[in-house]
Amino acid sequence: MAQKQQSNSENLKRGLAFAYRVGDYFENSVSDIIAGTHLGVAKLGDNEEPTPHTWYRVDIPEGITGDGSEYYIYIKKGSSKNLLIFLSGGGVAWNSYTAARPSNGGSITAGMPNFYWNNLRPFTQIMNIRSGITEDINPRNKFKNFSQVIITYATGDLHVGNNDFEFTDSDGEKDVLHFHGYKNFRSAMEVAKRFFDKPKRLLIAGDSAGAFAVPALAGEICDDYYNDCKDVTILSDSGQFLYEGWRDTARDIWKASDDLWQAIESDNITVDWYRRLYNKYGDRFRYLYSTSTHDYLLSAYYNDVANKVFASDKDIQAEFHEQMKMMLSQLRQINPKFHFYLNNFKNKMVMKSGMKGGTIHTNIRNLNFHIPNSEGVSMEKWLYDAMHDDLYDSGMSLIDTNI
């Protein structure tokens, strides 16, 4: 029996090692393909003006990613006076254990715990531009002519951190995670203001980690950069993660600003930050939230907190679903004019071991952005309508209660 257990253990280790190598090879291959074809993005020169309808990478010399490497954002100049400020996602680190386990192709494929992207590289470009709302080759994309600023993310701090956090990595070595998301955000907004000074209509949106950041930073975007713009819509796509320690993390690990960590009073940081935002700005914005009903990835994050297992299955997805209904009710209580978009698009991710079933994670930069949900409305149409004062909920028939 002991020999059999040892053999099984060795087979598992070999299997994980093989999966890790496959994922690492895939990531590097994609990076090489992107860098060597028309999909690559040119750097915008210091004194260069962007050509309309062309994506550029803008280096931020004062910026820094989690592992200390270079930081940059993406911009595109549109033909309309509408502007999208987009806060990207890419996971979160909330303690030493999660800080020691960044994401990469190998760890994802092998199903090893991995919680956040700690740097930017060509592979991460596919998560940031040219998909969903950022598509530039789809002539029917209603947002194709918007100017767009994609505030990339690789700091694990929901774009609000101001700290150099010391931790011990998975090999037992001392390391530092640069929680400088807030500095990166401010530097990115200086670029946005320089190139897109006076938008007529402003959309502030974010997915995953960026969804949490939207209520934290939307007021600042308007106050400090676009105070003259009176037509503002804000959208969080998939920002649900219940954790009792958010206040301590924001205060002591990320060292977020006092007004942000002090606003956290529950295990739902998104609800608390939306409450703070609405209390200060009221109906200054149109408020929108979107989610899938059984998010496979957000349920895995919650599973790690609740059960110390970074994986997703139907039981934890059902728990996510119940939490989602409560969250929508809480947001509607904050502001009766909060509007929601729900979908139940199936999770078809094959690269993430241990992430079975459930529904997709985020939709706004997904091909499904253009596809109708169960009620026949695409997220693209719902969002575009909302920005033009046709506000409504879609997909609410997917839950068994009235919100």
pLDDT in tens, 378-393: 999 999 999 999 999 9
**What's the confidence (pLDDT) of residue 170?**
81
Specify the range with the lowest mean pLDDT, choosing from 13-22, 296-305, 340-349: 13-22
pLDDT of 8 higher than 70: no
pLDDT at 325 over 50: yes
Range of lowest pLDDT (28-42, 80-94, 383-397): 28-42
pLDDT score of 339 more than 90: yes
Model confidence at 337: pLDDT above 50:
yes
Q: What does the pLDDT read at residue 33?
A: 57
- Distance between CA atoms of residues 205 and 207, nearest Å: 7
Q: With bands split at pLDDT 50, 70 and 90, how would you rate the model's confidence at 42?
A: confident
Check residue 354 and give its pLDDT: 76
CB atoms within 10 A of CB 31: 17
Q: Residue 379: which of 339, 330, 349, 320 has the closest Cα?
A: 339
Residues 6+ apart with CB under 8 A from 115: 91, 92, 93, 98, 101, 102, 103, 156, 301, 310
Complete DSSP assignment for 267-322: SBHHHHHHHHHHHHHGGGSEEEEEEETTBHHHHHHHHHHHHS---B-HHHHHHHHH
Mean pLDDT of the chain: 90
pLDDT above 50 for 213: yes
Res. 18 pLDDT band, cuts 50 70 90: very low
pLDDT of residue 41: 86
b/e burial code for range 42-81 (CB count within 10 A of at least 16 → b):
eebeeeeebeeeebbbbebeebbbbbeeebbbbbbbbeee
Residue 106: band (very low, low, confident or very high) from pLDDT cuts 50, 70, 90 = low
Q: Which position has the higher pLDDT, 343 or 30?
A: 343
pLDDT of residue 252: 98
Q: Residue 345 gets which letter from DSSP? A: P
pLDDT digits (tens, 9 = 90+) for 254-287: 999 999 999 999 999 999 999 999 999 999 999 9
Least confident stretch, 15-29, 162-176, 293-307, 318-332: 15-29
Model confidence at 28, in pLDDT bands (50, 70, 90)?
low
Q: CB under 8 Å to 141, separation ≥6 — which residues?
A: 133, 135, 370, 380
- Angle (nearest 5°) at CA 162 between 43 and 97: 100
Give the residue-averaged pLDDT of 52-60: 95
